[in-house]
Amino acid sequence: MNEETILELLPEIMRKLMGGHPPPAGLRALTLGQVRALHFVTDHSGCTMGELAEGLGVSLAASTGLVDRLIQQGLVARAADPTDRRRVRLQLTDGGRHAHVAAKRRARRRMAAALATLSAAEQRQITSALVRLRQALSK
């Protein structure tokens, strides 16, 4: 297995973790990009569009499109920065918090179900390899 295979597998694994589930009542299905944006805004409440774009590794135009769709769904709100009205800050709405928690729960359930099909030794191998990969990418 080489870097090409890993680069193909990781996004596919994330799509499978986040997809394939019906959304909670009253919510539309979210794309992986939208879930990532919700997660970022959850961890960086009051972030700017530029900070979101940088955090997600996408263009400002792409992050604006993501946020526009999240606003249409009532999951994120834009607010003027009280110290600089030219700057816009992003906040999760109550619906956004609910959607974020629901997406994380669904992903955890799906991961638990997948891991249950593997032996304890295979689970330890995967965990060890992912920890080492994260460490290598952090250098």
Instruction: Give CA separation, 17 vs 29, 39, 43, 84, 113, in Å.
Output: 13, 15, 20, 39, 11
User: Structural domain of residue 35, as residue ranges?
Assistant: 3-137
Residue pair 59/68 in contact (Cβ under 8 Å)? The answer is: no
Q: How far is CA 101 from CA 21, 24, 41, 48, in A?
A: 14, 11, 13, 22
Percent of the chain with pLDDT over 90: 55
Please answer whether residues 110 and 103 qualify as being in contact, where contact means their C-beta atoms are separated by less than 8 angstroms: no
Q: Give the model confidence (pLDDT) of 13-36 as tens digits.
A: 888 887 655 555 555 678 888 888
Q: Which pLDDT does position 6 carry in this prediction?
A: 85
Q: Mean of the pLDDT values across residues 91-110?
A: 90
CB 70 within 8 A of CB 56: no
What's the number of domains the chain is made of?
Answer: 1
Specify the CATH number for the domain of residue 25.
Answer: 1.10.10.10
**pLDDT of res. 114:** 93
What is the overall mean pLDDT for the chain?
88
Q: Which residue has the tokens 């539309």?
A: 28
